[in-house]
Every structure is written in structure tokens, then in C-alpha cells.
Amino acid sequence: MSLKIRPYSPSDRKAVRDICCDTGFMGNPIDPIFVDRDAFADFFTRYYTDIEPENALVAEDDGRVVGYLLGCMKYDSVNRRTFWLIISRTVPKIIGRIITLHYNKDSYKFLSWFLFKAAGQTPKSVPEAAHFHINMYQEYRTGFAGRRLIFPFVNSVAKQGIKGVYGQMQVYEDRRSEKVFERYGFKFIDRKQITKFKDYYDEPVWVATIYNEFKQDQEPPMPLVK
């Protein structure tokens, strides 16, 4: 594995959206749960690629984008802008696909979860803090690629004078991931069980919030990994 971490470019947009959909079902393609890959990618990536592309990074292996970090530093407007993007750009597409009978039973079930349950199953965020969303193909989920994506973003946030940075990630009964992030200054501050996979996966799945709060005048909080 020879990974290169570089800033996101508009030409990476399709690759980022493909990764989002190819891994949307616990590292596997989202298609069995939701057939509308376009809308799914809008839900989870469009704000970042369209509004804050300067805060995104990609991991590239032999010229192929295999992972990404999508970051947000505009914490005071992200919710409003995300809502507007979904209402103005995504919802009309969904309505058109409902009219043309594009969706199956599983897709309607996912839409129902997203509209009526997702917000209640999202762990708490941190006011006035930056945040990130990270994803990559299964074979790159060894921790190495993730660290190389997260470290530069966290250091960049610290230099902006923002009080801290948080991320939200799926976790299971195994707590090893918590110990890994704690070594780098993150604390797990909340987690909630999600139900969108309950008909497809027997074990409980949670989404957890991890948070790194910066101390005044501290050195960059994470080492840069070559």
C-alpha cells in the first residue's frame, strides 16, 4: 500500500460519492437498503464537497481515490446550508423518483428512517467546534489511512483558533477503536444506537461522537504521519 494524502479537487467528487455509496452499508454497498445512490451521496457528502471543498482531503493509491475526509469549519452555518441543499436539490429528485416508481420497499423504509428517526439517533455534536466525516474502502480500514487523513485536518483546525474538533463514527461492542482514538487526544462523549440496519444485521450498532478539545497555546495536537 502506497498512500498519498492530498487536498480534495472538484474532479474527485464522483470518486467521493462512489466511496460513500460503495461502503454505505457497514462497509458494503448501500444498494440492498437504498437503491438511490445519487440521493444517498447527497445526504452524506454534498454539503462538504459543494460548500467546504477546501476542508476536504482524499487518500489516493496508485492514482485511485480510495478514501476521504470531509471537514467542516463553518459550524455556525452548516445545519442551515445542509438543510437548504437537501430541500432544494435532493428532495425534488426523490419526489420525481417516487412518481416514476423508482424505489422498492427497502428504499421506502430507509427514507422513512432518514426523515423521521435519523436525527433522534444521532449522538450529540459539539457547539462551535469543527467536525469531520471519514470513509474509505474496506481494504484500507487498517487505521493507517485513517490516521493519515485525520491528523492534517485536526492540526489545520487547531491553527484556525477553533476550540476543538469532533467526528462521528459507527462503533460496535468491541471498544478497541475507543482506545485508539484516546491515544490521540480524543474522548468518546456520546453514542446512540441506530436502527437503520436492524433488519440486515443481528448485532447492535451505535454511532459515537469523539471529541478533541484544544488547550490554549498547545502544540499541534496530532503527529503528522509520513
Give the chain's domains with CATH numbers.
3-213 (3.40.630.30)
pLDDT at 182: 81
Contact 89, 46 (CB under 8 A): yes
pLDDT, one tens digit per residue, over 15-26 is 999 999 999 998
Specify the DSSP class assigned to residue 185.
T
| 3-state DSSP assignment of residue 74 | coil
DSSP string, 30-72: STTT-S-HHHHHIIIIIHHHHH-GGGEEEEEETTEEEEEEEEE
Residue 178's nearest CA partner among 138, 206, 219 is: 206
> Order of strands, edge to edge, in the sheet holding 205-213?
3-7, 56-61, 64-72, 130-136, 164-171, 205-213, 187-194
Q: Does position 215 have pLDDT exceeding 80, yes or no?
A: no
pLDDT, one tens digit per residue, over 76-134 is 999 999 999 999 999 999 999 999 999 999 999 999 999 999 999 999 999 999 999 99
- Grid coordinates representing 217 are 497555546
Q: What is d(CA 179, CA 137) in angstroms, rounded to the nearest whole number? A: 22
Strand pairing class (130-136; 164-171): parallel
pLDDT at 224: 47
Q: Does position 223 have pLDDT exceeding 60, yes or no?
A: no
